[in-house]
Amino acid sequence: MKRPTIADIARRAGVSKGAVSYALNGQPGVSAATRERIIAIAQEIGFNPNSAARALSGAAANAVGLTLCRPARTLGIEPFFMELISGVEAELSARSYALTLQVVADPEAEIAVFRRWWGERRVDGVFVCDLRVDDRRIPVLERLQLPAMVIGGPGHTGTLANVWCDDGAALVEAVEYLVALGHHRIARVGGLPGLLHTEIRTRAFTDLCARLGLSRAVTVPSDYTGEEGGRATRRLLSSPERPTAILYDNDVMAIAGLAVAQEMGLSVPADLSIVAWDDSALCQLVHPALTALGRDIPAYGANAARRLLAVVAGDPVDDFQDQTAHLTPRGSTGPPPRDT
Interface contacts to a second copy, rule CB under 8 A: 48, 50-57, 59, 62-63, 72-83, 85-87, 89-90, 93, 96, 98-103, 113, 116-117, 119-122, 225-227, 230, 252, 255-256, 258-260, 262-263, 280-282, 284-287, 289, 297-298
Q: Is 99 helix (H, G, I), strand (E, B) or coil?
A: strand
To a second copy, the closest distance from the beta carbon of 208 in angstroms equals 28
Q: Are 139 and 236 in contact (CB under 8 A)?
A: no
To a second copy, the closest distance from the beta carbon of 52 in angstroms equals 4
- Measured CA to CA in angstroms, residue 173 lies from 8, 109, 158, 182, 315 at distances of 58, 37, 30, 15, 36
- Give the nearer residue to a second copy in terms of CB position, either 54 or 184: 54
What is the Cα 215 distance to its own chain's centre? Answer: 33
To a second copy, the closest distance from the beta carbon of 199 in angstroms equals 25
To a second copy, the closest distance from the beta carbon of 257 in angstroms equals 9
- Give the nearer residue to a second copy in terms of CB position, either 103 or 111: 103
What is the Cα 66 distance to its own chain's centre? Answer: 10
- Give the nearer residue to a second copy in terms of CB position, either 11 or 116: 116
- Give the nearer residue to a second copy in terms of CB position, either 80 or 205: 80
Q: Where are the alpha helices (DSSP H) in the chain?
A: 6-13, 17-24, 32-44, 51-57, 72-77, 79-94, 107-119, 137-144, 167-180, 196-212, 226-237, 251-263, 297-312
To a second copy, the closest distance from the beta carbon of 91 in angstroms equals 11
- Give the nearer residue to a second copy in terms of CB position, either 85 or 217: 85
The sign of the CA dihedral 140, 108, 312, 3 is: positive
